[in-house]
Structure 1
Amino acid sequence: MELCANLELDGLTPSRKLIVEASRQLNIPLRIMIRPRGGDFIYSAEELKEMIASIEFCKKIGVEGVVFGILNSDGKLELGAIRQLTDMAAPLKVVFHKAIDHSINLIEGLAKLIKIKGITSVLTSGGGQTAMEGKETIKEMLQLCGDRIEIVPAGKITNKNLHELHEYFGARAYHGKRIVGDLS
């Protein structure tokens, strides 16, 4: 399960108190969103320090993994910072989130992520607003990765369209706020 706060901002780092409580009460693997603010994925040095502190806390608590994404101002992946955070997160699993969908070239970016030891998954809607809109790109990403990095299709995946999308992708995992239906 991906744990995050402020879903109206597409997910931010949850409070330490919530991370601890979720770890204590849930008997499932937790992956924690590492995102200090909403908006773009171009972070200042101070924001990167905050992300590092959050990852260190997650390691201390013993969650399964962390979820983050970083771009630079020209729309490319910020590979130096990505490597730094991935290295320091070890041995936690690292999911590169939908920031890749805001990059200027998803396939080129994915080819670079494949080379970073420690990144285990990439969450993507294939550059579209939904997984259905970006399905050709997601399929290409799945083919490029093989079993090296798990591609996790995302973007308005629900219990109503999961079967159809799975028939098309054949992915091992999917992401969606309503993937198990309405929980309210």
Structure 2
Amino acid sequence: MNRPGTATGVNFFTGDLGAKRLGLLCTLVPSARVVGLLLNPAFGMEAFDEFRRSVGSAAQSLDREVIVQSATTDVEIEAGFAALTKAGVSALMVQNDPFFDSRRSKIIALSSTHKLPGIFHIREFPADGGLMSYGASLADAYRQVGVYAGKILRGAKPVDLPVLRPTKFELVINMRAAKALTLTVPPAILIEANELIE
């Protein structure tokens, strides 16, 4: 099932997106009192710190504990999952990061092995077997790039064009993954979802 994505008042650049993801994850997995946060400090410490602060603040308001685990290599990803599981984490958030994107299959497999329901930033994760994602629509971003390219080809100067921000956000849920994790997707999530992968 697909529904068009829309901007939902989320400020993509202030870390509010992390808070929104945590809220969605806690709605779907209410029993998750301790949530793991997988971050990559190599992506940039400013982004690392901002995302951690945003999620930490949201966790306090939701009466949840967040355990942060850093990973910059494949070995550290595997060790990070083991450490989070040992710490009693029962749900997972993964930072939007190109390195983690390139290790999508590994992260999804580890999530499944450790039975950690996770939320990610792009639909490719749930499309490949992860539980859910919430973030900017890549299809819409590619469309915006095409519009920009068209303007430049028609003579516009790149310096005169405004910087674009994501305007379309989408919530995608893999219903098979939810069933495998014995999770019942609540109506509030079903109503908000833009796509349900059966």
| Higher relative strand content | 2
Length-normalised TM-score, structure 2: 0.38
Length-normalised TM-score, structure 1: 0.40
Structure showing greater radius of gyration is 2
| Higher relative helix content | 2
